[in-house]
Structure 1
Amino acid sequence: MMQTEVLRDFDRLVQRTFNTQLSSEPVHPMPMEAWKDEAGFHAEFDLPGIDVDRIDMAVEKNILTIRAERARPEGRQHVAGSERLWGHFTRELMLGDHLDTESIQASYVDGVLRVDIAVAESAKPRRIQVSVGRQGQDPKEISS
């Protein structure tokens, strides 16, 4: 089991370093905007023209992996210009321990993939009761 995790981590490192994967096609990064607020972590990824069926998301430990594919259209002859990126897109995000990876929500509207991850309950601030007393006496609880 441990050896598999080491190999998987090494594979990720190679993919990130050399921008490769097992496919012969190049892997493109996807533009992203990310922010956090009191509700949690949010990110939006630009994936225009990609069918929702061609988007794959997975979370393993604290790494969120997003993959997508835009197939090159067939049958176009005598292309005068092409500036679009075709093929595979991928992005990996390392998530902090303060996020609840069980509550990841994703939506896809107008070519933008939005991911929302709530703050874990254990990471939210909480009040702590303080007891007051002297030796030999029962403590009295106070709360602020």
Structure 2
Amino acid sequence: MAGYDPFREFDRLASALVEGRRGPRRMPMDLYRDGDHYVLTADLPGIDPGSVDIDVDGQLLTIRAERTLTTGEGVKWITREREAASFVRQLNLGQGIDTDRISASYGNGVLSVTIPVSEKAKPRRIEVTTESDASTIRAHETDAPTPIEQ
């Protein structure tokens, strides 16, 4: 049996207040690095893929999407919890990202954005050379006697 959780009740009330607001909403997202690229996944259920707009301005990635709901003539709603909404999310990419090769796909209500790491920012191994790898300096024999031979 679950007990009373005041934090859950506070969360429910705060969500109800936030949901009553107008304007763009934030979309839940995950971001992780997989090898030489980052993957951003964002939940956008019920979004027409044609309404998704992704742009990069300098190092700022912006994702916008619209959910529109269609209603037929003469429809009498019993309950309506889903609403038309705008979603927006901005992410500062920082340095070391190849912004020219960012790609995106949308399927099953999830937007996936692949953000490649630039070649300059990828980890690389630096070869260490030793003195034996360098060219050896050789002494040339001369006809003059050395001081020890005298």
Q: Which residue identity does 1:106 align to in structure 2?
A: A
Measure how far apart 1:132 and its partner are. Answer: 4.5
Q: Matched residue of 1:28: which SS?
A: coil
Task: Note if contact 1:48-1:110 (Cα within 8 Å) is conserved in structure 2.
Answer: yes
Q: Which runs of 5+ in 2 are unaligned?
A: 1-21, 136-150
**Can you list the C-alpha shifts for 1:71-101, whole angstroms capped at 9, x where unaligned?**
1323374322222242211110111212211
Deviation string 1:17-74 (CA, Å, 9 cap, x unpaired) is: xxxxxxxx52111111111122211011111111111110100111110000011323
Q: Is 1:92 paired with 2:128?
A: no
Tell me whether 1:60 sits opposite 2:57 in the alignment: yes
Q: Deviations over 1:78-129 (max 9, x none)?
A: 3222222422111101112122111101011111110011111001122334
**TM-score, normalised to structure 1's length?**
0.68
Moved more, 94-103 or 77-86: 77-86
* SS of alignment partner, residue 91 of structure 2: strand
Of Structure 1 and Structure 2, which has the larger fraction of its residues in strand? 1
Per the alignment, residue 82 of structure 1 pairs with 80
RMSD: 2.2
SS in 1 for 2:47: coil
TM-score, normalised to structure 2, is: 0.66
**Letter matched to residue 70 of structure 1:** R
- Indicate if the aligned counterparts of 1:72 and 1:87 stay in contact, CA closer than 8 A: no
Q: Percent identity?
A: 43
Aligned counterpart, 1:18 = none
Q: 2:50 is paired with a residue of what secondary structure?
A: helix
